[in-house]
Structure 1
């Protein structure tokens, strides 16, 4: 059974606190990494609000355990989507559930609000000087002297309220309040409060969930009653049901955009509140929650807290955090660097959340109760569109056992929900954002060694889901055209959606290959190159495209047909095949020039053709330089972004943290490595920020990074040794993640422009042609050959002709899926898809019209159209111009290739 140490009460959830001392890294320069975590980072805007959820991290500062079900945190009157705005000095309650960094609001359920006197209060003021937070602990003393302290285990929490002497010590608990509209019921016992709340409505979606709660106080209630919307306490009643409108205005769902934070000028009225008082100055409350039942909440509370004191629980949770944060142990670095790093790591490990009770039961997407296997946990809250890029890889890197449970949980979402939703809250989908990110999440975690889940079932469901409109809006057109065309009412951002689907297809291809399903792997690798169907060879951008294959008017700064970014920012979104993209763009020199211009600003927002590193779509782009032979530019841009966009202060994140995605990017940047290609575990290199790093993966494998003299000045790689051998490669193979290894960097203040500059040193790109090009005749009907006449000019007729081994008949199958003669490409005229469209020889331009798939039956298929290279009417006469036509296995479509 994989569990925390029993004394911590984190049963059937995680493992890291149970790591024995002997398994700890040998270099313990940071033996209490929790001391460097500042949970207030991200609670204040650090950048402009570009309309994509605001310019703050939208984090929360309250108490939470790693991947905890409960996040007990204060909520300010001025609202951000994490519930807390650092610039407000008014707290209206301490609710039990939160999401860290979202672009819309949800949770904020069941706020507890201590009060002085005989009636509930709307809010109390406080000063940050009387507030503190650390992993697993939060404390604030209001200006009136009332103090609240919070701590948590995975599924439970404990509060300690200290009231000023001589005043009535009271407390309200509202089961009908949340950030969005909610309803609920609460029942009062002698010293207990029990009930449930129904919430949901993320980004205006229809997701709903029920949370059961049970609170036990260490002293009986002196008085008790209920209060509804009028705020009047009725002590004759011990139960109440009610509905609250929520504290956040309703918001549209993601097909329009994620909106900025909504400010509220006052608190909303009570809905279904208990109001109790105590004859005591210090009161503790133990609270358990469950998404299954009230009995589940009680069992969680009993199992995870027992009779332990507040301080014992607080210490245990901090130990749990140190066990996980310590998986990445660093030496060197400034205090600010350490705080930025470990705070980012902390924020990366708050989600997804344990969703099953201590007995293994959980609420499925089918609204039925299921039970996980013994020793495992179910997880919930998947910010798919965001976290597939690097956060899930980080979890799998340092906690592969937990990552396997997360992957299985994702598979279960598809199993019980019928498809893989893009953004899920609790046990429901929201449909927010675009793409097919869960496919990439599962594949990436598997690639990073989180393999202990039903991967075969996962692959089967993923492959089925690509033809499900709930999982992939526009799937039918994507399959038909090789891209999602403009004008589809159910698709947000046709060009972005196409590129998201191609990345997911690539991840699926790699997942299938690891499971030995070569046919599926080949099919989806071909689909992954559909980005070429958006490539406009004139201006060399990836553009929206109409159903008739024409390109509408385009500007790199346009946001229409793109999602939370513009055409210039999405131009680089082929993270698995930069080589193919760069060749289509004209080669390394123009690409580097474009990237240099792109990084003139690092967080320019969506209105400029420059980087927008406060949001997800361009996060992979700083690493792209390494593919163009100038990795020293990656080293520069990554470090500049890390040191200017991330700071250990409340305003230390310039955009939504999105359940740890932005923070995970900062962690990878400080490590000097990045998981660029979804579904793979190669790591593209920048340079480490710390003199040494030990990554203990939790499975016995260790990655050691040595970089003496590392600093924000000494950021350029002069040389590298991998496992003792000199390496000029600007990337690490998958074997380093799988088996561990040692990296020895020599760093300097100036770039070594030769290191990593050779084509052979670039990180791998994944294309569809043979790794080693093959050249020779292509022969077919009547043993005649494919011939270009003449081969010297673009637009030459491609015909059937007597084989003569001339230059016009010497065809090369290239690694990018093209078929070339005399340096030009076999091309479908006008990029048409109709039967009878002629083929020609044309300047190679990186478009889909020049993509050919040799099938085992001898057919040569043009990928975008799905049609075969064909001899019209089986006419074997010399000079017959070839065409594309429906594949029919006739002799007119059977070719013998080099």
Structure 2
């Protein structure tokens, strides 16, 4: 018998980050037989100092399916949740219960204990305490298998709630389709599925508005269920499901191909092998048990997350992928180009600010990753940069007076100050987040450009800086492709950061369209909530340094290398000048603070490496070690802020290895301070690049000398080509800084500008 019905969304599948818990901080030798996947702890970051925490998601490398528990609603810190409400599958929420069928999420939710919840990249297990059912799952790229162990003499229900149209056949097979939403909702993607249970149910039915509707057709219902009568013996019921974006038949084909007759243990073992191969692309020796756990946990999250949103992933997540999985970057860029051909715009996912898909494409191009239509990609990038909006949180669109000001005058304009406004900041409650206190300077006039979002505002300084960096990236590929006029146009724009440097304060500041400085302006507090009148989630102390492509030019503006490093020192030591609650009430994204430096927010991630450009690389070495030690851990509180698509995790991976891509688009790596005795990176083609840190320890964080492939290296950077062709970087480490290594004026990595100051 076949029955079709539709049910409403209960949980929506969203993009998630990943996390972990309960690992000793004691130094220990590598546990015998412990693999990279065994080191991964999925609960890091599941208690977050800012917003929604990460969830313990498991998936296959490059797979299309991911599963995680749905925890107590409204519990932002997942690790603190006391109940599980099910497991979202992308088209509906799966849950199991005992006894007679009862509709309703709360009626079927179950308590659980983290101590009875093994969670690894290849396997999740939890004892659902209320029905006393041990629940396990593992998966493949497009399919998953659940195993439920049912006590004797206990009736059982398998519930599927969501927004799918479902067909049930022979009390054993379910198929249909439902909508899968992204993290911020928006347009739903249709997800088809085909599922089988290992034992036919006694009955099945559907429900609507928490009322059982029986086995009849039900459009607009809330879900469906399978019911098994009690058995005198314990039962094991398996639920296998395949998914597809094409059809139910394709979902069945995926299930048959990827799982078929394989046992649960075989699927689990295969997924573990796949993750060990993926994580084993980078092998480490030495370090503490804690450091190894953090390293492989962050590497897992970087590789498991989809990087469709390029706002923060361009900084280091894509660079890491370029290094160990360049074909995945090619695939992503082909997706960008495909989006351009279909929509007329090269995707930036409508997130935050900038045209950072340009950075990803250009960085890949200059690293020799060119398996995409370069001319079509250039066409799309150029259109974004010349015809698209620069307004925060917008893609495509059209040119407004704001973009025209950037094109004509070289900066994105801020709103002018209202002459009748009270210049004294006030302590108030935020209108949309009433639990947050904010510092509210009500100085600006009312926004008159209708396209600007009233919540995210203009972010004028950040928009200028992010776009002039992207313009520099585009200029580089324009030159390589022989497009000389474009090269000149975008190189001119690449210097636009200079227009917002305010010598009187030694920091970046906003200007109005007439070219006047916004006054009054406080580099710590101006801009309102999240600073977004002028900045993206931060303040001028953070964004002043967002000139990755021309650090020497910024040094020139500041007057000397000493002035530059003094200002950097001040960044790491200047305080809030108010209580922390009030400061974070205004700037909730500036978590993980060291002075005004926020390790919890990605626009700051390149800043510790800027000492390398001003003759003090030993300070880079000290800062990156401090930040790794302070703000990463194998605990639920092991992240200082958002994961943001793997950006936070990839920062740790690079820094633990001892180098970092300070300026994507320029194929070089700045050298920091590794934490492992030896790191071996599989760069493909049978080649490896090894970073050996002789004598490295918690105290021995300073580079005394270096060689690259046996040749003395006296510069704190290396070319990407040095890495991908294979080789060996040897760093001799010590407990006190060698202030002569890498400190000469000519030792810094390239910038646009030549030095005009000492």
Range class of TM-score, shorter chain: 0.7 to 0.9
Aligned equivalent of 1:772: none
Query: How many Å separate the matches in 2 of 1:534 and 1:213?
Result: 53
Encode CA deviations 1:42-63: one digit per residue, 9 max, x unaligned: 1122x3x2xxxx1x6x322132
Aligned equivalent of 1:729: 715
2:675 corresponds, among 668, 677, 689, to: 689
Aligned equivalent of 1:261: none
Give the match's secondary structure for 1:743.
Answer: strand
Structure 1 pair 519–765 and aligned structure 2 pair: CA distance change class (3 A):
same
Equivalences for residues 661-700 of structure 1 within 5 A: 661-700=647-686
Aligned equivalent of 1:401: 327
Matched, 1:746 2:749: no
Give the match's secondary structure for 1:718.
Answer: strand
Aligned equivalent of 1:443: 362
Encode CA deviations 1:119-158: one digit per residue, 9 max, x unaligned: 2433100111110111121110022321111111111111
Moved more, 336-345 or 137-146: 137-146
Equivalences for residues 467-482 of structure 1 within 5 A: 467-469=387-389, 470-471=395-396, 474-482=402-410
Encode CA deviations 1:307-344: one digit per residue, 9 max, x unaligned: 21111111111111111111110101110000000000
Aligned equivalent of 1:164: 151
Query: How many Å separate the matches in 2 of 1:544 and 1:598?
Result: 19
Where does the alignment leave 5 or more consecutive residues of structure 1 unmatched?
1-26, 98-108, 177-183, 244-270, 353-380, 424-430, 768-814, 817-822, 824-843, 845-898
Q: How far is the alpha carbon of 1:738 from its aligned partner?
A: 3.7
Give the match's secondary structure for 1:86.
Answer: helix
Query: How many Å separate the matches in 1 of 2:101 and 2:219?
Result: 19
Equivalences for residues 97-108 of structure 1 within 5 A: 97=90
Q: How far is the alpha carbon of 1:713 from its aligned partner?
A: 1.6
Query: How many Å separate the matches in 1 of 2:33 and 2:472?
Result: 39
Q: How far is the alpha carbon of 1:657 from its aligned partner?
A: 0.4
Aligned equivalent of 2:223: 272
Is this contact kept in 2: 1:214–1:289, CA < 8 A? Answer: yes
Q: How far is the alpha carbon of 1:388 from its aligned partner?
A: 0.9
Give the match's secondary structure for 1:687.
Answer: coil
Is this contact kept in 2: 1:632–1:717, CA < 8 A? Answer: yes
2:704 corresponds, among 714, 718, 722, to: 718
Matched, 1:346 2:325: no
1:573 corresponds, among 540, 546, 551, to: 546
Structure 1 pair 306–509 and aligned structure 2 pair: CA distance change class (3 A):
farther
Q: How far is the alpha carbon of 1:515 from its aligned partner?
A: 4.1
Encode CA deviations 1:86-116: one digit per residue, 9 max, x unaligned: 011200011124xxxxxxxxxxx51100111
Structure 1 pair 641–682 and aligned structure 2 pair: CA distance change class (3 A):
same
Aligned equivalent of 1:119: 101
Aligned equivalent of 1:73: 68
Aligned equivalent of 2:271: 317
1:215 corresponds, among 171, 177, 195, to: 195
Equivalences for residues 349-498 of structure 1 within 5 A: 349-352=303-306, 382-423=308-349, 431-466=350-385, 467-469=387-389, 470-471=395-396, 474-487=402-415, 488-491=449-452, 492-498=458-464
Give the match's secondary structure for 2:296.
Answer: helix
1:85 corresponds, among 78, 81, 100, to: 78
Q: How far is the alpha carbon of 1:665 from its aligned partner?
A: 0.4
Structure 1 pair 201–734 and aligned structure 2 pair: CA distance change class (3 A):
closer
Encode CA deviations 1:524-573: one digit per residue, 9 max, x unaligned: 22221111121223222222211111111221112131111111110100
Structure 1 pair 471–588 and aligned structure 2 pair: CA distance change class (3 A):
farther
Is this contact kept in 2: 1:175–1:273, CA < 8 A? Answer: no
1:147 corresponds, among 126, 129, 134, to: 134
TM-score, with length taken from structure 1: 0.70
Structure 1 pair 143–206 and aligned structure 2 pair: CA distance change class (3 A):
closer
Encode CA deviations 1:751-776: one digit per residue, 9 max, x unaligned: 11111110111121124xxxxxxxxx
**Which structure has the bigger radius of gyration?**
1
Q: How far is the alpha carbon of 1:79 from its aligned partner?
A: 4.2
Give the match's secondary structure for 2:92.
Answer: coil
Aligned equivalent of 1:359: none
Aligned equivalent of 2:467: 501
Equivalences for residues 499-898 of structure 1 within 5 A: 499-553=465-519, 554-557=521-524, 558=526, 559=531, 560-600=533-573, 606=587, 610-767=596-753, 815=754
Moved more, 699-708 or 282-291: 699-708
Query: How many Å separate the matches in 1 of 2:121 and 2:182?
Result: 29
TM-score, with length taken from structure 2: 0.82
Query: How many Å separate the matches in 1 of 2:32 and 2:669?
Result: 25
Matched, 1:34 2:47: no
Is this contact kept in 2: 1:186–1:272, CA < 8 A? Answer: no
Give the match's secondary structure for 2:330.
Answer: helix
Encode CA deviations 1:248-281: one digit per residue, 9 max, x unaligned: xxxxxxxxxxxxxxxxxxxxxxx23334436672
Give the match's secondary structure for 1:623.
Answer: helix
Is this contact kept in 2: 1:504–1:678, CA < 8 A? Answer: no
Aligned equivalent of 2:437: none
2:262 corresponds, among 304, 308, 313, to: 308
Query: How many Å separate the matches in 2 of 1:601 and 1:195?
Result: 58
Structure 1 pair 735–621 and aligned structure 2 pair: CA distance change class (3 A):
same
Aligned equivalent of 1:138: 124
Where does the alignment leave 5 or more consecutive residues of structure 2 unmatched?
1-29, 390-394, 416-448, 453-457
Query: How many Å separate the matches in 2 of 1:333 and 1:63?
Result: 26
Give the match's secondary structure for 1:683.
Answer: strand
Q: Which has the higher contact order (CA 8 A, sep 6+)?
A: 2
Query: How many Å separate the matches in 1 of 2:32 and 2:707?
Result: 23
Matched, 1:44 2:22: no
Matched, 1:242 2:242: no
Is this contact kept in 1: 2:204–2:224, CA < 8 A? Answer: no
Alignment length, in residue pairs?
653
Q: How far is the alpha carbon of 1:591 from its aligned partner?
A: 1.4
Q: How far is the alpha carbon of 1:296 from its aligned partner?
A: 2.5
Aligned equivalent of 2:25: none
Query: How many Å separate the matches in 1 of 2:662 and 2:282?
Result: 20
Moved more, 594-603 or 524-533: 594-603
Indicate the RMSD between aligned Cα atoms, in angstroms.
2.5
Structure 1 pair 475–242 and aligned structure 2 pair: CA distance change class (3 A):
farther
Q: How far is the alpha carbon of 1:200 from its aligned partner?
A: 3.0
Query: How many Å separate the matches in 1 of 2:552 and 2:80?
Result: 46
Give the match's secondary structure for 2:613.
Answer: helix
Aligned equivalent of 1:335: 289
Is this contact kept in 2: 1:436–1:471, CA < 8 A? Answer: no
Structure 1 pair 279–307 and aligned structure 2 pair: CA distance change class (3 A):
farther
Is this contact kept in 2: 1:62–1:150, CA < 8 A? Answer: no
Give the match's secondary structure for 1:401.
Answer: helix
Q: How far is the alpha carbon of 1:195 from its aligned partner?
A: 1.9
Is this contact kept in 2: 1:219–1:278, CA < 8 A? Answer: no
Aligned equivalent of 1:794: none
Structure 1 pair 661–134 and aligned structure 2 pair: CA distance change class (3 A):
same
Query: How many Å separate the matches in 2 of 1:690 and 1:29?
Result: 18
